[in-house]
Amino acid sequence: MKKAIAISVCALLGLAAGYFAAQPASMWYIQSTEPDMFGAFALDVIDSSIACNCENKPPSEALKIVSGDLSTVRGWRGQNRSSLMLAQEIGLGYVRLSQLEQKLGNGAEADNDMKHGQHELAALGWKDISPAHLTALVKRMDSGYQEPYQKEKNAAIAH
């Protein structure tokens, strides 16, 4: 009887240890073997990713969010210089910053951020890096993050 109890307790302790150790072990494994996949996962997990729904926030608050997210992505890129996905996110992040700086009336900062974004995207081989094209692209991408009722409202206004 004591042997059966001891085996059951050991089995339960083993299950509990495995339950808590599996996630960190798998995260470490994926990060070390597939840094691009881990970066994509981490980018998706960010509280509010760079492609956030900032339409309902004041520009100054949205600027803080995008700046913080851009800083995080730049940190990841420091760990994985060859990641094309992170380079693209950084370029588009700078375009978003430029739009927010423009809304706040900071023309010089907006131009500087746009130039950083254009530089990042040109290094990736993008052909059209004009400010008008990049601004329209980011607006189109961000429109996918609107709430469903907001999309319907915008569609009704457009017609």
Task: Tell me the per-residue pLDDT of 71-107, one tens digit each, with 9 for 90 and over.
Answer: 888 888 887 788 888 888 889 999 999 998 998 898 8
For residue 93 the two structure tokens come to: 């992040």
104-115: average pLDDT: 91
1-30: average pLDDT: 80
The mean-pLDDT minimum among 11-20, 68-77, 128-137 falls in: 11-20
- Whether this prediction's pTM lies above 0.75 is answered by no
Q: How far is CA 11 from CA 2, 5, 6, 20, 21, in A?
A: 14, 10, 9, 14, 15
| pLDDT at position 47 over 50 | no
Q: How far is CA 54 from CA 48, 63, 114, in A?
A: 9, 9, 18
Contacts of residue 9, defined as CB under 8 A and 6 or more positions apart, other chains included, come to none
